[in-house]
Amino acid sequence: MVTTYSQETAFQILDPEGKIVGPVPDLSNERLLAMFRWMWLARKLSDKIIALQRQGRATTFGSLVGQEASAIGLAAPLRPEDWLVTSYREIASHLVKGVPLATKIFSFRGCTHPSYPVETHCLPIQIVIGTQLLHAVGIAMAAKIKGDPIVAVGACGDGATSEGDFNEALNWAGVYKAPVVLVVQNNGWAISVPRHKQTAAPTIAARGAGFGVPSRLVDGNDVLAVYSAMSESVDRARAGDGPTLIELLTYRIGAHTTADDPTRYRDPAEIEVWKAKDPIARFKRYLVGRKLMDDKKESALVEEVEAEINAAVDEAEAMPLPSPEEMFNWAYAKPFPRLEEERAMLQHYLAK
């Protein structure tokens, strides 16, 4: 059993053949091509970090291959002043939001600390499953209190919907009519636990109703559908009409992380079914139909993206690692004697 419901019944603009089956959002050719490029960048970056991890040049990493339409579509409608708060899975969404590629790669050298530029309005990636949704709601509430017309987007996976925090975030978002969009990338699995063992609800989107939060079920491999649903919900939130829950139906093609072995729990046939729904191929068919893309242009674009990633890897690997004693810099705003003593202790051993 893949899921108890299908992408076909979800909101779709492009079917797997790239044929138009819904209202196409009004986007310039440049925007469309930019989104296509972001999707390739997401895929190639994901593959690159996994390769680096295998060589001992990167720490644990979770692939986003297969989820490019969701990753890009959920961030593309956001304005610079909007906030994005996510788990470890949405790194490509952060790039769209303005996080520099080299900064992102640097973090996988085991130095998460020099964080994202604050002006990108992204909190650091969240490791604790689901908890970031409450932060997104809090940001949205704060904006409302201050009268700032911004929107916060909180993103998580399907497993996260089982946590208390997910349910509390929805409840608060509804009660306070917070200008927030909560997005679930339902990629079928939470490590080895399939979606149908996560909740008995027919859809995750269906759970919005119980909290008084309008919700949408969207084909997460259709970048135009994701973009369109997101931009409507973001506009609604900005207009003061409150939160939306969006479920993006997608699939994790790779392992959960570089530490995971999916052959222990997943039928390989399932992966083939989903490969046929590849989000990049689907979008490409649409762009080809509009004469914006062809095989040659695509190969050139992919080459360009790979060169950009390789340059960013070089840049990230040339960055100096933060000194070990920096661990004392960020625990508190101001140093105090005890921590200074411990810093001296560490310095003593570093000098040895």
Partner 1 sequence: MQSTMVEALNQALALELERDERVVLLGQDIGPNGGVFRVTDQLQKRFGERRVFDTPLSESAIIGSSVGMAAYGLRPVAEIQFAGFLFLSMSQLVTQAARMRFRSAGAFGCPLVVRSPFGGGVRTPELHPDSLEGVFLQTPGIKVVLPSSPYDAKGLLASAIDDPDPVIFLEHMKLYRSFRQEVPEERYTLPLGQANVVREGSDASVIAYGAMVTVALEAAKQIEERSGKSVEVIDLRTIWPLDEATITASVEKTGRAVIVHEAPRAGGIGAELTAIINERCLYSLLKPVERVTGYDVPYPVPGHEDFYVPNVARVTDALERALAD
Ligand X SMILES: Cc1ncc(C[n+]2csc(CCOP(=O)(O)OP(=O)(O)O)c2C)c(N)n1
Residue closer to partner 1 by CB (options 76, 137) is: 137
Interacting residue with partner 1 among 73, 159, 179, 208 (CB under 8 A):
159
Residue closer to partner 1 by CB (options 231, 258) is: 258
Q: Kindly give, in sequence order, each residue whose CB lies less than 8 Å from that of residue 13, ignoring residues fewer than 6 positions away.
A: 20, 21, 22, 23, 24, 25, 222, 224, 225, 228
**195 contacts 186 by C-beta, under 8 angstroms:** yes
**159 contacts 221 by C-beta, under 8 angstroms:** no
Residue closer to ligand X by CB (options 103, 126) is: 126
- Of 198, 203, 279, whose CA–CA distance to 245 is shortest? 203
Q: Which single residue is written with the structure tokens 């070990």?
A: 324
- Tell me how far apart the alpha carbons of residues 172 and 72 are, in angstroms, rounded to a whole number: 27
Q: How far is the CB of 158 from ligand X (least distance, A)?
A: 4
Q: Is 265 a catalytic residue?
A: yes
Residue closer to partner 1 by CB (options 80, 110) is: 110
Interacting residue with partner 1 among 80, 110, 117, 210 (CB under 8 A):
110
| Among partner 1, ligand X, none, residue 89 binds (CB under 5-8 Å by kind) | ligand X
- Of 222, 186, 205, whose CA–CA distance to 21 is shortest? 222
Interacting residue with partner 1 among 265, 275, 304, 311 (CB under 8 A):
265
Task: Name the site residues for ligand X (rule: CB under 6 A).
Answer: 62, 89, 127-129, 156-160, 185, 187, 189-191, 252, 256
Q: What are phi and psi for residue 83, nearest 5 degrees?
A: -110, 150
- Tell me how far apart the alpha carbons of residues 174 and 196 are, in angstroms, rounded to a whole number: 25
Longest C-alpha distance within the chain, in Å?
A: 68
Tokens of 12: 């779709």
| Among ligand X, partner 1, none, residue 21 binds (CB under 5-8 Å by kind) | none
Q: Is 252 a catalytic residue?
A: yes
Q: Is 5 a catalytic residue?
A: no
Q: Is 29 in the site for partner 1 (CB under 8 A)?
A: no
- Tell me how far apart the alpha carbons of residues 74 and 152 are, in angstroms, rounded to a whole number: 12
Residues 296-315, one symbol each (x = binds partner 1 by CB under 8 A, - = not), give --------------------
Cβ burial of 214 (10 Å; 0-12, 13-18, 19+) is middle
Residue closer to partner 1 by CB (options 209, 345) is: 345
Q: Kindly give, in sequence order, each residue whose CB lies less than 8 Å from that of residue 79, ignoring residues fewer than 6 positions away.
A: 150, 151
Q: How far is the CB of 185 from ligand X (least distance, A)?
A: 6
Question: Of the residues 43, 195, 207, 256, which is catalytic?
Answer: 256
Question: Of the residues 54, 79, 265, 290, which is catalytic?
Answer: 265
Q: How far is the CB of 148 from partner 1 (least distance, A)?
A: 30
Give the footprint of partner 1 on this chain (CB under 8 A): 59-60, 88, 109-113, 127-130, 159-160, 162-164, 190-193, 197-199, 259-260, 264-265, 321-322, 324, 326-328, 330-331, 338-339, 342, 345-346, 349-350, 352
Instruction: Report the catalytic residues.
Output: 252, 256, 265
